[in-house]
Amino acid sequence: MRKFMGMCATVACCLFLFTSISFAGDGVDHKAKVIKLAGFDAVTGKYGNYGAGDKVGQEIAIAQINAMGGIQAGPLKGYKLKLTFFDDRGDAREAANVGKKISAGDFLAVMGPTMSSSALAATPVFHRYRIADIITYANASSITAQGFDNIARLPFTTKTIADAIAKCIGNEMGKKTAAVISENQDYGQQLYEGLLEVESKYGVKTVSQDVITAGQDVDFKSVLTRAKSSNPDVLVLFVTYNEGGLIVRQTREMGWEVPIVTVDAMTDPKFFELAGDVRNVNLVISGDIDQSTAQAQYLNTEYEKHTGEKIAPTAAVFGYDAVQVARKIIENGATTREEFIKGIQGVEVKGGIFSSLYTFDKYGDAEIFSFVTISAEDYKKTLNMK
């Protein structure tokens, strides 16, 4: 009897979820003239800085659009935007649950997240229940390799980042060998695999590799000792800001002055707080961000009002730009979830901060990007940090 009752409860739960998603709305309230959008990211947990920035960036963009009269063209001209933001805590299982909640809700489209593992958990849910996801900061190439038609990704892929890292080491720095420390998440492992695929093209060879557990490991002395024993020309970090900051600090504390090359995940102010001495640390980041534009200045001004920080972090830039992409697709005529999905292909979004022009290829990846290498010391100055 207990087994039978348990089976009934499971079936009832599944039927409830199916029914809820089956009757999900398109997120347009014609009476109130409001368009409902969902956002999600790791607002709390070990990656909370990313999600907090993403959330504030989205909120600033929506407030700006609404203050200017809302949507400026199309069938929903004059409608205002409303954001509901969900916290996935940077956890893949929670991201899948959030995906189900959003899919079952009354939303036209969704924006987020930062963590690749969260994106890989949520995007199949969004695809199954036909709601578009504008991915704000998740880089794993496997996200768009799934072949889903409902994804528009704003940042670089892990493959393009890995190529830029190898180019920086071989062509720009003239170095030959690298020791790699990568996190055990999709992000870090796909960056490492991408580096192995292209390094020979730039005359670079990986001579050692260690994997650390993101959100768990804090003492990296043994990892760094192994890396140092391989006598590399450079140390490459494929991790996020918490681990990256600690590794840089511990590298210098052990007296190892090796040049360090790493990714734009280290542009978060928390990295600099944790790292301390960032001499001879090189960041390979977007070459398209122009802080002198009106959009960037507006975001920075509003971000400081919200947080006290003078320069909006990259996560906030992506959050802001994601809303601009959503706005443009709506102004091009999207009024339903399916119309929004179809609107991804062919859309041209001008005036973004991370990219001055967003267009998306057949996989949903943004098409036009460039990379630059900047010293962490110089980047820190742009954040007005002491």
Fold of 21-157+292-369: Rossmann fold (3.40.50)
Residue 13 has pLDDT above 70, yes or no: no
Span 62-91, average pLDDT: 98
Q: Which of 3-7, 43-47, 66-70, 134-138 has the lowest mean pLDDT?
A: 3-7
Per-residue confidence at 290, pLDDT binned at 50, 70, 90?
confident
Per-residue confidence at 78, pLDDT binned at 50, 70, 90?
very high
Q: What is the structure's pLDDT at 193?
A: 97
Q: Which of 129-143, 223-237, 256-270, 286-300 has the lowest mean pLDDT?
A: 286-300
CA atoms 215, 216, 219, 221: torsion sign: negative
pTM, full prediction: 0.88
Span 115-140, average pLDDT: 97
Q: What is the structure's pLDDT at 286?
A: 84
Give percent above pLDDT 70 in the chain. Answer: 93
Span 216-227, average pLDDT: 95
The domain segmentation of the chain, as residue ranges, is 21-157+292-369, 159-287+372-382
**Residue 362 gets which letter from DSSP?**
T
Residue 17 has pLDDT above 50, yes or no: no
Model confidence over 319-352: pLDDT tens digits? Answer: 999 999 999 999 999 999 999 999 999 999 998 9
Span 141-164, average pLDDT: 96
Residue 14 has pLDDT above 50, yes or no: no
Average pLDDT over all residues of the chain = 92
Span 88-96, average pLDDT: 97
Span 56-82, average pLDDT: 98
| CATH no. for 159-287+372-382 | 3.40.50.2300
DSSP 251-296: HHHTT----EEEEGGGGSHHHHHHH---TTEEEEEES---TTSHHH
Round to whole Å and give the CA distance between 284 and 67: 36
Span 369-381, average pLDDT: 91
Per-residue confidence at 382, pLDDT binned at 50, 70, 90?
confident
HSE (side-chain half, CA atoms, 13 Å) at 18:
6
Q: What is the structure's pLDDT at 386?
A: 60
